[in-house]
Structure 1
Amino acid sequence: MKKAFFLLAVLLLSTHLLKAQFDDKFYFPNKTWKALDSSMQVEEVNLPVDTVTLNALFFKPVGQPKATVLFCHGAGGNVTFYQYMVKPLVEHGYQVFMIDFRGYGKSSGKPTHLNIACDGQVVFDYLLGRPDVKGTKMLLFGASIGTQVATRLARDNGDKIQALVLDGAISSFTDLAAAYAPAEQQAMIKQYLTSPYAAKTDIPFVKLPVLIVHSKEDKEVPFALAEAVYNAAIGKKELYIYSGTHLAAMKENAGEYVNKIDRLIY
């Protein structure tokens, strides 16, 4: 990821470009399908959206679910790479719907900031219409770059969800790119690279309990970006700081992590 943002900085520095999003510098889809964890019950779902088909995995707990989680993955891999993050949730009674956005895993198409945000709303609406979701509490869970989509969905659907979890939170696409660039190029990136939506500007409109999870040792997403989102949040909020690498909190202390999520809805 660092190499990608350095190349982006060089591109911006060496050309006189109008404002642009540079979507292809943020998404790294992987088609490699890892084995599914056989200890979890799972349903595979295919959703047609305009010209593409989105693939998803719906993990079910034993017995009645205590809540439904819509999980938005990070910039790399696909949903099978993030099973370790949702397994503890499933084991503690949550049903978790993991969507692969365009280009990831078995989903067709090519990801951009805008189509992923639109797809997120389509998926959210689909979930609300499922008989096995109706009547359950709803949580949005964003991982890394997925925190952008999750926060936008929380802003637009606040009356339909109970809580928001942001792990490895990014304040904006622009801030993330600037964080990887040499100091002398950061101003240019902030001037020319646009963010069509951003967690730090969406979160003030979210009046729901928010859990932000990050490590000060994170080498992928600087802690300051998550801190900016936390500081901008206006409702009930918690900043859970753990020791470890990017998106490793569920590996380091799953019990404490899930307990914090439980407290968001009870």
Structure 2
Amino acid sequence: MPLWLHIALIVFVAYAVISILLYYLQDYFLFKPEKLPKDFDFYYENQTVSEYNIETRDGAIINGLHFSVEKPLGVVLYLKGNSKSIKGWGKFAVDFTRNNYDVIMVDYRGFGKSTGKRSQKAIKHDLQFIYNKIREKVSEKYIIIYGRSMGSGFATKLASMNSPKMLILDAPYYSLTKVTGRYMPFMPLSIILKYPMPTYKWLKYVKCPIHIIHGTKDKLIPFSSSVKLSQVNPKLTRLHPIIDGGHKNLNNFESYHKILTEIIKSKEKKIDLSTTSIGVKHSSKK
């Protein structure tokens, strides 16, 4: 066997082995769950919170928290990132309860107290199931879907299939295939990735106002991904940059809280474009 063919064969076998390993181990790389014992007691200072468990059709248990306020203006379904559990993510509920909104947070399968085999399809079905439970008690015009990082893809899919008041995406990715491709550019991710999460495809079908919040110095999911996303459904989308914000520290910026409050409290106003400078032609001197 010629040397070049021998080397090519070794490279091919190594490539195939790595691809197979990535396929079976990708859950380990993509998700960093924190397990909680069944008797774990959630507590958040100055917050009224209740815990619930919902059983899905395939027997999985989805554990969640309901942060409530008196006379809520609506409810925020908060879809968290890919790490830890709602034990830690619950601290962000105050950013919405302070604006008089109830907050629903859930742990994905395998996170916290939630059980069941995890897959992109299963998580999408779980979240739709949760959304259906919410709209049994709250009209959709009062429901805000908020997706953070990994949760932004699921949030977009959910919004594309329903009619919430608005969709807020925090540090979203154009697609998970694009994000992982930055670190493994030579791997066949479009084939082996079990969680492609094509946010840009789902965003086309969202019919409610879309707000995208992203730090300009995010090194994990670059700000440019939100710029591209804002161009997918431009008539309904507003992009809110957090200057110097990273991926995990937006809540430390005053500008983030001002923007979030403005988004939640704002009322969409239609503009009579005929009264603006759009289409105005400047006449030339004779």
TM bracket, shorter-chain basis: 0.7 to 0.9
Counterpart of 2:147, as a letter, is: G
Residue correspondence of structure 1 range 160-239 to structure 2 within 5 A: 161-181=164-184, 185-186=185-186, 188-190=188-190, 192-193=192-193, 195=195, 197-239=197-239
Shift of 1:186: 4.3
Change (3 A) 1:195 1:44: closer
Shift of 1:25: 3.2
* Partners of 2:47 and 2:64 in 1: CA distance: 15
Counterpart of 2:249, as a letter, is: A
* Partners of 1:13 and 1:186 in 2: CA distance: 14
Q: Deviations over 1:56-105 (max 9, x none)?
A: 000012x2111111111110011122223221210110100001111111
Q: Deviations over 1:17-48 (max 9, x none)?
A: 99999444322211256963221101111101
Change (3 A) 1:31 1:208: same
Q: Give the CA RMSD over aligned residues.
A: 2.8
Identity of aligned residues (%): 24
* Partners of 2:237 and 2:263 in 1: CA distance: 11
Counterpart of 1:259, as a letter, is: E
Shift of 1:175: 1.0
Counterpart of 1:5 in structure 2 is: none
Counterpart of 1:70 in structure 2 is: 77
The counterpart of 1:45, out of the listed 32, 52, 56, is: 52
Counterpart of 1:143 in structure 2 is: 148
* Partners of 1:225 and 1:12 in 2: CA distance: 30
- In structure 1, runs of 5+ residues without a counterpart are 1-9
* Partners of 1:216 and 1:135 in 2: CA distance: 32
Of 193-202 and 87-96, the range deviating more from structure 2: 193-202
Shift of 1:258: 1.7
Change (3 A) 1:51 1:13: same
Number of aligned residue pairs: give it: 249
* Partners of 2:71 and 2:66 in 1: CA distance: 14
TM-score, scaled relative to structure 1: 0.83
Q: Say yes or no: does 1:100 pair with 2:107.
A: yes
Shift of 1:167: 0.3
Counterpart of 1:249 in structure 2 is: 250
Counterpart of 2:65 in structure 1 is: 57
TM-score, scaled relative to structure 2: 0.77
The counterpart of 1:155, out of the listed 160, 175, 187, is: 160
* Partners of 1:244 and 1:18 in 2: CA distance: 31
* Partners of 1:21 and 1:225 in 2: CA distance: 26
The counterpart of 2:127, out of the listed 107, 120, 123, is: 120
Which has the higher relative contact order, 1 or 2, with Cα contacts under 8 A spaced 6 or more apart? 1
Change (3 A) 1:150 1:265: farther
* Partners of 1:156 and 1:223 in 2: CA distance: 26
Residues 29 and 77 in structure 1, CA contact (< 8 A), matched pair in contact too = yes
* Partners of 2:200 and 2:41 in 1: CA distance: 33
Change (3 A) 1:118 1:21: farther
Of 143-152 and 191-200, the range deviating more from structure 2: 191-200
